[in-house]
Amino acid sequence: MPELPEVETTVRGLARFLEGERIARVSLNRADLRRPFPPDLVQVLTGAKVTGMGRRAKYGLIHTDRDQTMVFHLGMSGRWRIEPDTPDKHDHLVLETGSGHVLALNDARRFGSVDLAPTARLETWGPFASLGPEPLGEGLTARHLRSAFAGRIAPIKQMLLDQTIVAGLGNIYVCEALFRAGIRPDMAAGRVTLPALTRLVPVIQTVLNESIAAGGSTIRDYAQPNGELGYFAAAWQVYGREGQPCACGAPVLRFTQGGRSTFWCRKCQK
């Protein structure tokens, strides 16, 4: 599933073609993705001006001058195609701007979603109401994590994936951040010291920023809006590297936590 860096990369790519533009035409080529498109989506977006772009957790945001924001989630295989040469059977939503740009939301598996939400009340809108702070924002601090983890025996890795604690973190980047911070992924969250959490927070931000700069990680069908594949996977130090040597020489290990694979180094993470 595209994670925060992939969504951020997507939003930045779309902004070059959408921000400040008026949407001249909206085409729906089916009734739904994971759930039905909003019944008034075409009416609200047609003729609307895009006033800004953004991201919340793993959701992309397209703000309009009609006080409505189109919220999209890429699901497992969703991606936006910009100026596609030919239509594709999986282009389920197509936007055309007044200056002639064409942008198609392509989702072969249809696990993505599109919603409309009042722009002024986004923070309290359904899926956003319980989200924790953004990992790249000022709200993510060592003291926030210490408070959220207090008394918790669940492993720190699973707690970091809890979207009510930190919004937008996914499996790949948590594995990589815990490795760089030297923290065992199976350590009880409540036992992680404040100095370790103080070390972890900037590492999380560095890993995410490095991935954004690299265009994200390529997983299955993910690609940037311009069609290029993200290449942060080349920088993975533990994720997906079971049995391969860590930089310290010890083998990278893998085990399952909460139905997800965890990759780590027994020697580097204590």
| Residue numbers annotated as active site | 2-3, 58, 260
Number of H helices, E strands in the chain: 6, 10
What distance lies between CA 1 and its chain's CA centroid?
8
d(CA 249, CA 255): 19
First to last CA, the chain: 29
In the chain, what are the helix, strand and coil shares in percent, each to the nearest 5?
A: 30, 25, 45
Distance, in Å, from the CA atom of 30 to the CA atom of 36, rounded to the nearest integer, reads 9
| 44 in Cβ contact with 66 (< 8 Å) | yes
Q: From CA 226, how far away is CA 244, in angstroms rounded?
A: 33
Q: Look up residue 194 and give its two tokens.
A: 């404040």
Burial of 40 (0-12, 13-18, 19+ CB in 10 A): exposed
